[in-house]
Structure 1
């Protein structure tokens, strides 16, 4: 069985006759008929009934045609991918993203890249703290959007807008009424909700952690948000993640001098020692023009 025979089968079904099918694939009707007969003999089934004016698929032929159509589609995908790779385009680009940044603008950029390069697979990893840079250093990512970039690293970088952090408590907490006067020491016995660093072998980074506080450690900021909204604990959160919770009075932002608004620098980073393909270069350029939603105003 060959792909050519399956193409002939598909052509007969789509055109409705052996003659029209032969014309569509630029073959003689006799050679196409012989090819289908050989396919039937090889498979041991009859694909078409030939009693009527137009050939009709048998039940067995219909089942074979469905599989053949799917196989031909996969064949076309392989050919398209081969042309894509032969043109110098990457088969995959990998992006490591800090869990504190808004993903919506990034998704918009990735949609543009997918439209321009539909055959390139995009891998997106969400990491916390040192995890983004570790993915880049370990060559598990081509580009990182990181809040842990160190200028000492031998990487190319581009500064993106910073992310604002606020300290929040549940609005049901008694501390909510003291939001503008509360001291850090007042929360010493309250549970601090902490997002863990996702790095595996690099020195762990700690931000916004008070050593004397009891702690719950979670995997991501979405879980941290849900825990505090449920009435448990407190912690620093990216403002864009809790803005609606503050407006809807599920969370209260602490505004005393001990809990001022913080700005986390964000950098677009890649290894400048590595060759760069056209898809990655396009992604790099588009990410530089990305803007976050407004996060400073409430």
Structure 2
């Protein structure tokens, strides 16, 4: 039994006349009659009562007609859904991110994507860089935004954003009114930083910036996300070096100041599985400004 046979049967059931049904289907009558006979043989019961003058549905045929209509409608719906999935207008896109990515414009690109593809569902998962690599390999997310590129054997990647580090200090700090600052003036300041176990990338980047300025940072407070770091600075608990995008927080009691003579940048990379053939992923990647600085 196939969909073609069901369509033939439904047409005959609606016309109750093989000749008119054949005309509707744009086929000749013999193949239509043969198809109905094959369907009845497959089912093991008669669908029609036939004589020289009339065609009528059997009781089984009446029930089968109702079920066939629902099955054909479901098949048509499945085809339409499949076509829309293939075109990338519906579906489900799963995105991994680190918390700082939200300050780098990811939310704007998601909003733009959803405006263009309103029937695509987007799920966000906050994961560190290592967890995102694992989730990509296990196909738990479609793409991610990470700061480190370690094991890229199965991973495609492109630079999403490279930005400067800036100094974040309380407005009450004696150096807070400067437009730029030489970090050597901060060598005795208490620093607020990620624990290396939580974010080895940022820990090592910020330590390297300080070492290039001639000192090792005096690490006093260790916290696990950028928001808390800036909050600690606002409370007067120390200073921090943060990616420039953190300026978007617009804190009233904090100043963000450019760092002099620093070439080390904070990088965010977009990653996805090399074997992925998702048109939704392709659509999303086309929106991203790769390599923006």
Q: TM-score range by the shorter chain?
A: 0.5 to 0.7
1:97 Cα deviation after fit = 2.3
Secondary structure class of the residue paired with 1:148? coil
1:270 Cα deviation after fit = 0.8
1:162 Cα deviation after fit = 0.8
Q: Deviations over 1:1-39 (max 9, x none)?
A: xxxxxxxxxxxxxxxxxxxxxxxxxxxxxxxxxxxxxxx
**C-alpha distance in 2 between matches for 1:237 and 1:243:** 12
Of residues 85, 88, 98, the one that matches 2:85 is: 88
1:237 alignment partner in structure 2: 242
**C-alpha distance in 1 between matches for 2:259 and 2:109:** 35
**C-alpha distance in 2 between matches for 1:214 and 1:150:** 26
Conserved 8 A contact 1:155-1:270: yes
**C-alpha distance in 1 between matches for 2:225 and 2:281:** 27
Conserved 8 A contact 1:171-1:252: no
> More displaced, 137-146 or 222-231?
137-146
1:94 Cα deviation after fit = 0.9
Conserved 8 A contact 1:170-1:176: yes
1:283 alignment partner in structure 2: 284
1:168 Cα deviation after fit = 2.4
1:114 alignment partner in structure 2: 114
Q: Deviations over 1:261-289 (max 9, x none)?
A: 63123322211123x222222112222x4
Residues 1:184 and 1:138: Cα distance change in structure 2 (over 3 Å): farther
TM-score scaled by length of structure 1:
0.53
1:255 alignment partner in structure 2: 259
Conserved 8 A contact 2:165-2:241: yes
1:50 alignment partner in structure 2: none
Conserved 8 A contact 1:85-1:91: no
Count of residue pairs the alignment pairs up: 205
Unaligned 5+ segments in structure 2 are 1-75, 211-215
Secondary structure class of the residue paired with 1:88? helix
1:67 alignment partner in structure 2: none
Conserved 8 A contact 2:103-2:248: no
TM-score scaled by length of structure 2:
0.54
Unaligned 5+ segments in structure 1 are 1-78
Q: Deviations over 1:69-112 (max 9, x none)?
A: xxxxxxxxxx9899535643564211112333355743333234
Instruction: Say if 2:156 is the partner of 1:156.
Output: yes
Conserved 8 A contact 1:164-1:264: yes
Conserved 8 A contact 2:166-2:243: yes
Conserved 8 A contact 2:146-2:268: yes
1:228 Cα deviation after fit = 0.9
1:191 Cα deviation after fit = 4.2
Rg larger in 1 or in 2? Answer: 2
Q: CA RMSD in A?
A: 3.9
Conserved 8 A contact 2:159-2:291: no
1:156 Cα deviation after fit = 1.6
2:133 alignment partner in structure 1: 133
Instruction: Say if 2:266 is the partner of 1:264.
Output: yes
**C-alpha distance in 2 between matches for 1:124 and 1:192:** 28
**C-alpha distance in 2 between matches for 1:131 and 1:116:** 29
Secondary structure class of the residue paired with 1:94? strand
